[in-house]
A = this chain, B = another copy of it.
């Protein structure tokens, strides 16, 4: 059972995992280097614990101690009880969800391990916005994607904002980084996957015609908001498909495009 420790000094070193949470650049460097990530909110903290992440500590405002009692009772890590004001001083923001946990990262699987068993994977190129990464993971979990592969410059799925937007789906959907981009896409193809690139280009095949749901193993390549997939990634793909769109509209948000593509690849639709 966890030890409950009341802290009233914002500079107490035991709270250092929670310091300056709004400094994106600082946290982006610090968290992977220290093998740390932050889970925020009761639901997300519970999911992190349930999916086997090890807790370094929790930081709760007093009213959350009762709500999280069962988690606390099973926790072999300290729980710091702090006032609402202190939480704000330490983190730099208004912690309206009141429950934070500092968790230990696991080592990521390699892509080969994931590709050996998956049938539907999303491959993200340069999706460097934490909200978009979280949204893609949430939809991937809901719509039956088996895994996510990330180009080296994608945002961190375990960054606080990604975790929150994903509603904890980043804990459930296996993911790996491809180190050599786009060269490592060859590894995906060699594992039996058809590489299907999503693009708004007018000469791409409508996804309804391409019918990726019929393929035994599909890797859906999704690019960043705005620029889309790079020319190199498009060249590396087996097919270029597009979501049919209305005249004059350039594109969907990457989260919306991912949801539609995941649905299309998951679903054997009734005849139209």
Question: Hey, what's the 0/1 contact readout for A243-272 against B, CB within 8 Å counting as 1?
Answer: 111101101110111111001101111111
Given the known interface contacts A138-B256, A213-B272, A214-B272, the answer about A169 and B249 at a Cβ–Cβ threshold of 8 Å is yes
**Are B266 and A263 closer than 8 Å at their CB atoms?**
no
The answer to whether B138 touches A253 (Cβ under 8 A) is yes
Whole-angstrom CA separation of A141 from B253 in the bound complex: 12
| A2 interfacial contact with B, CB 8 Å | no
By the criterion CB–CB under 8 Å, are A256 and B135 in contact?
Answer: yes
> Does A142 interact with chain B (Cβ within 8 Å)?
yes
- A139 and B246 CA atoms in complex are apart in Å by 10
Are A141 and B272 within 8 A (Cβ)? no
Contacts of A257 in B (CB 8 A): 259
Copy number of this protein in the oligomer? 2
With an 8 Å Cβ cutoff, the count of chain A residues facing the other chain is: 39
Given contacts A169-B249, A256-B255, A263-B263, whether A270 and B142 have CB atoms under 8 Å apart is no
Per the bound structure, the CA–CA distance linking A248 and B141 in Å amounts to: 9
Chain B contacts of A267 at CB under 8 A?
Answer: 208, 244, 272
Residues of chain B lying within 8 A (CB to CB) of residue A253? 135, 138-139, 165, 255
Most buried by B among A138, A251, A253: A253
CA distance A250 to B253 in the complex (A): 22
A233 within 8 A of B: no
A21: CB under 8 A from chain B?
A: no
Q: What is the chain B residue whose CB lies nearest that of A134?
A: B253
B269 to A272, Cβ gap below 8 A? yes
Q: Are A209 and B252 in touch, CB under 8 angstroms?
A: no
Interface pair B270/A270, CB less than 8 Å apart: no
Given contacts A208-B267, A256-B255, A260-B259, contact A144 B246 (CB under 8 A): yes
Task: Indicate which residue in B211, B244, B256 contacts A139 across the interface (CB closer than 8 Å).
Answer: B256
Complexed CA–CA distance, A260 and B264 (Å): 9
Kindly provide the distance from the CB of A55 to the nearest chain B CB, expressed in whole angstroms.
22
Task: Write the residues of chain A forming the contact surface with B, with a CB cutoff of 8 angstroms.
Answer: 135, 138-139, 141-144, 165, 169, 172, 208-209, 211, 213-214, 243-246, 248-249, 251-253, 255-260, 263-264, 266-272
